[in-house]
Amino acid sequence: MNPANGPLVQHPQGVVLAVHAHPGARRNQIRHDPHGALRVWVAQAPEKGKANKAIIALLANQLGLRKSQIELVTGETSAHKRFLLRGLTVEETAARLNALPDER
């Protein structure tokens, strides 16, 4: 992933990560699409913030962060969401995302 074109933006507290969410999936997974966007599938249904919490838990697990380091900043009810990852740089985040297995 190229951070200049990808879903990452530097923020004073860390990095803002843009994702396209797919709630109600068969399994939890994170994938890069061919255009550099990050897609996140979670099994949790999109009701009462449950899917958002599941996305935060999956991102925390896959990126080696605590759930408390991740905050949903926009897109509470939208498929297009932005999360603040506290304490990381764009470069660190890109490296962690690139290290994720490519599940196809």
- Regarding the domain delimited by 8-98, which CATH topology (the fold level of the hierarchy) does it fall under? Conserved Hypothetical Protein Mth637; Chain: A; (3.30.1200)
Q: What is the pLDDT of residue 2?
A: 40
Cα separation values, 21 from 3, 39, 62, 87, Å: 20, 6, 15, 23
Integer Cα distance of 104 and 94 in angstroms: 20
Q: Between these two residues, 4 and 40, which has the higher pLDDT value?
A: 40
Q: What is the DSSP letter of 75?
A: -
Q: What is the pLDDT of residue 5?
A: 40
**Residue 1 pLDDT > 70:** no
CB atoms within 10 A of CB 48: 8
Q: What is the pLDDT of residue 104?
A: 47
CB atoms within 10 A of CB 71: 15
Query: Could you read off the pLDDT of 14-70 as tens digits, one per residue?
Result: 999 999 999 999 999 998 877 767 899 999 998 999 999 999 999 999 999 999 999
